[in-house]
């Protein structure tokens, strides 16, 4: 029976063949130091008798055993390709600042649909957006773009989290006391003004940017020696800390 054999996918099979061919070329590079003439594999062609199975998402193959009938015949040919051809036709993956689709919080169905559309990273998605392509319409509404965009923003924010360096007490020109919060990556998107709470009481933010916040204090905020300060800089970040006023 075909099920008595181990199933495999085409990607792993071809990858294994390429690794073996690369090893051969690397060996020849060393051998060529002393032997100017030798022999190697120019092209590789393999005929396989296999039983394909498809689960609605992935296709896998089982190699036919001797004497088995009903198998499909597949011919795989591997040819050489230069580094220039690779660079001209293939996008470099794994770039430092690029976020893979697997790294954002979307379901497996959405990830699979994006891959079928050639989207494997956030950068791929941005390139499509620049062409004014409606991802939701292109996927027959199978992709909720609003949810996808939200998860992308959340992923980006996690790469630049807010950091509070100092919190000090100051007085403005009107002799009003305020907290001066200094740090990094505090408020990165003007669309989302920060919200602050001190000892369970909402506090007004006088000024804010990526490196500082000025929070107006009232008598309701200064009720004890040690106070609780909560700051939200956008829908994806929240900083909670205890301070002495």
- pLDDT over 60 (residue 1): no
Give the pLDDT of residue 165: 96
Share of the chain above pLDDT 90, in %: 24
Q: 104: burial class by Cβ within 10 Å (0-12, 13-18, 19+)?
A: buried
**What percent helix, strand, coil does the chain show, rounded to 5?**
30, 30, 40
Terminal alpha carbon distance of the chain: 78
pLDDT tens readout for residues 51-89: 888 887 778 888 888 888 888 888 878 777 676 766 666
Give the pLDDT of residue 2: 43
pLDDT tens readout for residues 142-154: 888 888 888 888 8
At 180, the pLDDT band (50, 70, 90 cuts) reads: very high
Mean predicted lDDT score pLDDT of the chain: 83
Q: Are strands 44-54 and 205-208 parallel, antiparallel or unpaired?
A: unpaired
Nearest to 209 by CA among 195, 193, 198, 197: 193
At 38, the pLDDT band (50, 70, 90 cuts) reads: low
Beta carbons of 232 and 194 less than 8 angstroms apart: yes
CA distances from 40 to 15, 27, 28, 30, 184 (A): 19, 10, 8, 13, 57
Give the pLDDT of residue 187: 92
pLDDT, mean of residues 11-16: 80
Question: Buried b / exposed e across 176-192, counting CB within 10 Å, b at 16+?
Answer: ebbbbbebeebbbeeee
Neighbours of 98 (CB within 10 A): 16
Put simply, whether the predicted model's pTM sits higher than 0.75 gets the answer no
- pLDDT over 60 (residue 134): yes
What is the separation of C-alpha 86 from the centre of its chain, rounded to a whole number of angstroms? 23
Q: Which domains does the chain have, with CATH numbers?
A: 2-88 (no CATH), 92-158 (no CATH), 163-244 (2.60.40.10)
């Amino acid at each position: 029976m075909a099920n008595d054999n181990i199933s495999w996918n085409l990607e792993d099979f071809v990858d294994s063949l390429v690794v073996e061919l690369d090893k051969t070329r690397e060996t020849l590079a060393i051998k060529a130091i002393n032997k100017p003439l030798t022999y190697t594999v120019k092209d590789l062609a393999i005929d396989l008798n296999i039983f394909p199975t498809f689960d609605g998402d992935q296709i896998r193959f089982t190699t036919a055993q001797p004497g088995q009938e009903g198998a499909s015949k597949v011919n795989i040919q591997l040819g050489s390709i230069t580094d220039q051809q690779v660079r001209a036709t293939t996008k470099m993956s794994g770039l430092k600042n690029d976020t893979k689709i697997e790294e954002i919080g979307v379901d497996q169905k959405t990830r699979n649909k994006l891959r079928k559309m050639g989207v494997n990273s956030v950068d791929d998605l941005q390139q499509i957006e620049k062409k004014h392509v409606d991802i939701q319409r292109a996927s027959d509404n199978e992709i909720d773009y609003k949810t996808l965009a939200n998860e992308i923003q959340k992923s980006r924010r996690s790469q630049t989290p807010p950091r509070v360096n100092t919190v000090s007490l100051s007085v403005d020109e009107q002799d009003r006391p305020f907290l001066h919060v200094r740090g990094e990556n505090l408020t990165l998107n003007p669309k989302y003004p920060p919200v602050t709470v001190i000892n369970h009481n909402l506090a007004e933010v006088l000024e804010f940017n990526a490196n500082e916040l000025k929070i107006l204090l009232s008598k309701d905020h200064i009720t004890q020696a040690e106070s609780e300060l909560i700051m939200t800089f956008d829908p994806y970040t929240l900083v909670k800390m205890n301070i002495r006023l």
